[in-house]
Amino acid sequence: MKLQQVLSYTRRAIDDYNMIDAGDKIAVGISGGKDSLTMLYALHGLMRFYPKPFTIEAITVDLGFNNVNFEEIKRLCDSLGVNYTIVKTDIAPIIFEERKEASPCSLCAKMRKGALNDMAESLGCNKIAYAHHKDDVIETMLLSLIYEGRFHSFSPYTYLDRMKLTVIRPLMYMNEADIIGFTKKNNLPVVKSPCPMDGNTKREYVKNLLKQLNQENPGVKERMFRAILDGNIKGWPQRRESRYE
pTM, whole model, 2 decimals? 0.92
Res 73: pLDDT? 96
Residue predicted with more confidence, 100 or 138: 138
152-176 residue pLDDT tens = 999 999 998 888 899 999 999 999 9
Res 226: pLDDT? 95
Res 12: pLDDT? 96
Domains, the chain, ordered by start: 3-229 (3.40.50.620)
Residue 196 — very low, low, confident or very high, per pLDDT cuts 50/70/90? confident
Res 40: pLDDT? 97
Assess whether pLDDT exceeds 70 at residue 244.
no
Assess whether pLDDT exceeds 80 at residue 189.
yes
Res 53: pLDDT? 97
> For the chain, where are the E strands, in sequence order?
25-29, 55-62, 84-88, 127-129, 157-160, 165-168
91-132 residue pLDDT tens = 988 988 888 777 788 888 899 999 999 999 999 999 999 999
Res 38: pLDDT? 97
Q: What are the angstrom distances between the C-alpha of 115 and each of 88, 106, 135, 140, 210?
A: 9, 14, 26, 23, 31
Res 199: pLDDT? 64
User: In 3D, which of 65, 58, 101, 102 has the Cα closest to residue 82?
Assistant: 58
What are the φ/ψ torsions at residue 60 (nearest 5 degrees)?
-115, 130
Nearest-angstrom CA–CA distance, 192 and 195: 9
Res 68: pLDDT? 86
Nearest-angstrom CA–CA distance, 116 and 94: 17
Assess whether pLDDT exceeds 80 at residue 133.
yes
Segment 192-200 mean pLDDT: 75
Res 36: pLDDT? 96
Assess whether pLDDT exceeds 60 at residue 182.
yes
Assess whether pLDDT exceeds 70 at residue 245.
no
1-57 residue pLDDT tens = 889 999 999 999 999 999 999 999 999 999 999 999 999 999 999 999 999 999 999
